[in-house]
A and B are shown apart, each in its own frame.
Chain A
């Protein structure tokens, strides 16, 4: 009898372990699928982006740019080309990123007023992208392998079935101590993300406000990042998104910073 109890206990414990492991696996898998759907849709993409930076007092700043993206490998290397149009005094600034995921991204910027191409360091992915509430990492995505994921539950968000996943950075990270993602069960789009600091306080909230189907790819055409503590938010709208337009690798070169590729940037 005693042995039986021991056996049952052992079995139940083992089942529990297996169950947890399975869910961890599921969670990582969900986050991987979500990452690929969100940041690697198509082989390439081009879009006009409007960023509205709204500060605590409600005053707005606008940034408009055209963005080109080329995927070298799904979940791996990507190249970005950004050409600024507004505000007027920074128009013609162009910016290029070679995202390698090896931790050695490269960024260059062209400053037209002094006609200078300058490499800028890309070590800190948590720094703000052009002064917005989005970080560089938010623009190109945080690789799923950098966090440990935990499946919390299945839930509903604004009438959509979602997975709720909790992610904790593998290595201590300045950007957040914990993130809770609400991932759409069908499209794997992150509908909402909440970022918490090490005091457990909410620091930022991402929401996918509008999702359109573009050439078969679910695309977040309007998104908001709110910095809860600072009281500011940034609303990003994508216009004219086009996938698989056949972007060539050679335009992601320094000389195209000074002279934007006219095929894509008018």
Chain B
């Protein structure tokens, strides 16, 4: 097969290229059908219990995702002019399409239960119209502070910050609405600062920015790689083929992804970025090899055929192992990760196939003169070559310290791995300078929090939530949760009952308690409805049949770690204090759902990594037909994975979504060098039967190819380090780290090991199999 493919490509270069272009066009025309999905909720399967429950809760309590608008004025926000501005801003926001007008929480929309004239009890808007005096402004703040339903939520106790919560019909509208709201705040705003925050806006903005970033990052990467290739090979015609292969591999995979009806999620948007280096790697080996052979044979077809012949097996295994790393992602329970893995895996094999066909076909079309110039450009004494010679001599001379260093690295890494902290927060996918991040920090510093979780109490019995024991239990859970500093406020049906009772008895604070009888609870709630309270607002906290209640748990921090801590706190309270009979308690809300998919993701990734590791190991053993070589070939990738994740552990960077996905990439890329190195070493040895000669030669052709790959991929991704989005910076940094670490491990540790164990490793090829196994260091 290997000869056939090359043969055909050499014989019919135009047909091969034409066919490849035709297929590429076929996949490219699928692109307009692209379906973009920026909803992180889809990280979970559609039938994932946590997601179903969240949807059920949203439906039952008519809850919507919310945009939080924060107004911060350090000299005090409760001034007539400022409140009047907010009044106008709110009125304008109400006119926007996609806003759930009746559920807006703002001074002019929320109801206040209070003492009216003549000993009446009245429920009316907190701010019924524009105000004139400072007294009115102060009064509004005092009403917020004395209302458990509003306190901390609508304004900070110091009066420096005011929040508006804008519920929206669809999470995917949040970016658009946030932009429109920004326009409105600019129209009316004064010296005070306006912030727009909330998880939906972070997630939706990330989605839209992600594609913009990709549109910049992928071409930038492409360009840098192109320049680097030019720097190495000094010949534009030669390096066109690798770039064409990369582009085609990307188009084929993305086209197939779109054609098969899959949506392009956050993960899938990274496919091009992952495929470009993988596609380029193969070509660099071919060109390097071709260069060496052309010098020898000075015949185009022969040189190509020989180069492919040498490379076919290692390239097949390199590509196969890389795809295994990606295909293994199919075992994760996260649909977008599965799609990502399958299509990067597919793209990897496409890149392999195209490398074997497009590269020869292009080379065939290049004039002899060009090739001649290319072949004669000697790279044997370049900077890279001299550096490699340094490594070669160092590894040979100091193989013991090198191996000892590797052992030390493993020990240090194990310690570092234990320090890894699993955490994520979509808001933190933006850099600190980003307005979304700034808004998040400002609002959570002043107010009860922009992260809304829901603790839902359910029963099969109508009216169960009117039971005093249930009400008191909810109240106790609230007090317990509020002891965690991250919990800014909790609001529930209990607060409404107590507040009504307090006002009913003429603002008597001794009456601000849960009533003793169910009838009384019912009558307090009835009073709420009788006094003009909007039942729609009541039913955010309780279902109309009073069978379920919803406790709003507002968090100042959306880190999964913080959310989990609060969840565990509730779990513990519930474990220690039995829930009233017939009642069950469960969590819902976007921050909570995020913790669920993260948990699945971490577990799934670990599993995928282990599966891939096992398969790759078996592939290596079968490739080299040797357990020893199999084990050695796994060293660079094992050390790389350990070192990088240990580093993350040490610097305290949380193990988040992008980092967990990158483990599979590490696997695929790091094993590459080892395969090339070992396979070539063994081929060389079988020819010259001399370890010294082999050791010397390995640092020339394939050594340089590996070094070039290290440089191309690591430098190629430097543009990503300047991205506004943290996950992309992470990906860029990861590519850099993977390349450098696995490159060094391959070019230092593997040579040192071959030096140390040369007798054992190269025994069978040269000597009789019966020679007793003995390990002894060679004398250098």
Contacts and interface: CB of A to CB of B under 8 A. Distances in A.
Interface in B277-309: none
Most chain B CB within 10 A, of A89, A116, A136, is at A89
B504 A128 contact: no
A197 to B, nearest CB: 9
Interface residues of B, number: 38
Contacts of A229: 102
Contacts of A95: 530
B535 A131 contact: yes
B123 interface: yes
Contacts of A130: 526, 529-530
Interface stretch (B209-217, B324-332, B352-360, B512-520): B512-520
Q: How large is the interface on A (under 10, 10 to 19, 20 to 34, 35 or more residues)?
A: 20 to 34
Nearest to B545: A59
B124 A89 contact: no
A95 B531 CA distance: 11
A95 B527 CA distance: 11
A120 interface: yes
B517 A113 contact: yes
B529 A121 contact: no
Contacts of A87: 522
A128 B523 contact: no
B122 A120 contact: yes
Most chain B CB within 10 A, of A90, A113, A124, is at A113
Nearest to B119: A119
Nearest to A87: B522
A93 B592 CA distance: 41
Interface string B75-106: 00000000000000000000100000010000
A121 B538 CA distance: 19
Interface in A100-153: 109, 111-114, 116, 118-121, 123-124, 127-128, 130-131, 136
A93 B536 CA distance: 22
A55 interface: yes
B245 to A, nearest CB: 56
Given A55-B544, A230-B102, A121 B531 contact: yes
B460 interface: no
B122 A89 contact: no
B118 interface: yes
A230 B544 CA distance: 14
Interface in A242-259: none
Nearest to B100: A229
Given A128-B535, A131-B529, A120 B120 contact: yes
A113 B530 contact: no
Given A61-B545, A89-B522, A121-B123, 17 more contacts: A57-B59, A59-B545, A87-B522, A90-B526, A109-B527, A111-B504, A113-B523, A118-B527, A119-B121, A120-B120, A120-B122, A120-B530, A124-B124, A127-B533, A128-B529, A130-B530, A199-B95
27 contacts: A87-B522, A89-B518, A89-B519, A89-B523, A90-B519, A93-B523, A95-B530, A109-B530, A112-B523, A113-B515, A113-B520, A118-B119, A118-B120, A118-B121, A119-B118, A119-B121, A120-B120, A120-B531, A120-B532, A121-B121, A121-B122, A121-B531, A123-B116, A127-B532, A127-B534, A130-B526, A131-B529
For the complex of A and B, list the 10 residue pairs with the smallest distance between their C-beta atoms, beginning with the closest: A127-B532, A121-B122, A89-B522, A131-B535, A113-B520, A131-B529, A121-B116, A119-B120, A121-B120, A90-B526
